Amino acid sequence: MRAKRWPIQLRLAVVATACIGCSLAHQHLVGDSIWSIPPSNEFYSNWASNRSFAVGDDLVFRFELGFYDVVQVSRREFDSCSADNAFRSFLVGPATVSLNEEGVFYFICSFGNYCLLGQKLSVTVQRLLPPPTGASPSSTPPASPHLK
């Protein structure tokens, strides 16, 4: 019995649909290099400010075992560079942190005074909105004359 052949357009549509979810998530290599004491205190905040982070993305911290770590902390601990009540700790690199919900997340290195030297990162994660479906400029209702 001969297998039924699907038209090329249908096969491409199936593949494209299957890849939509995988193409939306991004892996962010923190600092675009290794997680270490930065050249300036603003290095990691500048790095994060030039990126968008969405639910489903990952942060990848590359570091050497025994020299650095990654600790997820509260805002208060982030500001004071303490890890007394850490949420999570990653001792082995590379460490991948999945960003599974929206919000602001804080990470520091708890070794020595590395955090005070700028080895800390905060990221704001937003929910990725699906593209509008079937909306056209002409379907937008006109503005109410009573609203200003």
List the CATH number of the domain containing 57: 2.60.40.420
Which of 4 and 87 is assigned the larger pLDDT? 87
Provide the sign of the torsion angle of the four alpha carbons 81, 73, 65, 51, taken in this order: negative
Predicted pLDDT at 145? 43
User: For the residues 21-49, what does the mean pLDDT come to?
Assistant: 90
CB 97 within 8 A of CB 55: no
Alpha-helical (H) ranges within the chain are 8-24, 43-49, 75-80
The boundaries of the domain holding residue 63 are 27-126
Q: Residue 134 falls within a domain, yes or no?
A: no
Encoded amino acid at 55, one letter: V
Q: How many domains does the chain have?
A: 1
User: Could you give the angle at the alpha carbon of 100 between the alpha carbons of 97 and 105, nearest 5°?
Assistant: 65
Q: Residue 103 falls within a domain, yes or no?
A: yes
Q: Residue 45 falls within a domain, yes or no?
A: yes
Predicted pLDDT at 2? 52
pLDDT at residue 141 above 90? Answer: no
- Phi, psi (5° rounding) for residue 79? -65, -35
Q: Residue 10 falls within a domain, yes or no?
A: no
The token pair at 16 is 């494209």
Q: Residue 59 falls within a domain, yes or no?
A: yes
pLDDT one-digit tens code per residue, 120-139: 999 999 997 666 666 554 44
Q: Residue 14 falls within a domain, yes or no?
A: no
User: For the residues 47-68, what does the mean pLDDT come to?
Assistant: 96
pLDDT one-digit tens code per residue, 82-119: 999 999 999 999 999 999 999 999 999 999 999 999 99
This prediction's pTM: 0.72
Cα–Cα distance, 37 to 117 (Å, whole number): 7
pLDDT band at residue 25, thresholds of 50, 70 and 90? Answer: confident
Which of 38 and 7 is assigned the larger pLDDT? 38
Across the chain, mean pLDDT equals 82
Cα–Cα distance, 2 to 131 (Å, whole number): 40
- Phi, psi (5° rounding) for residue 82? -120, 155
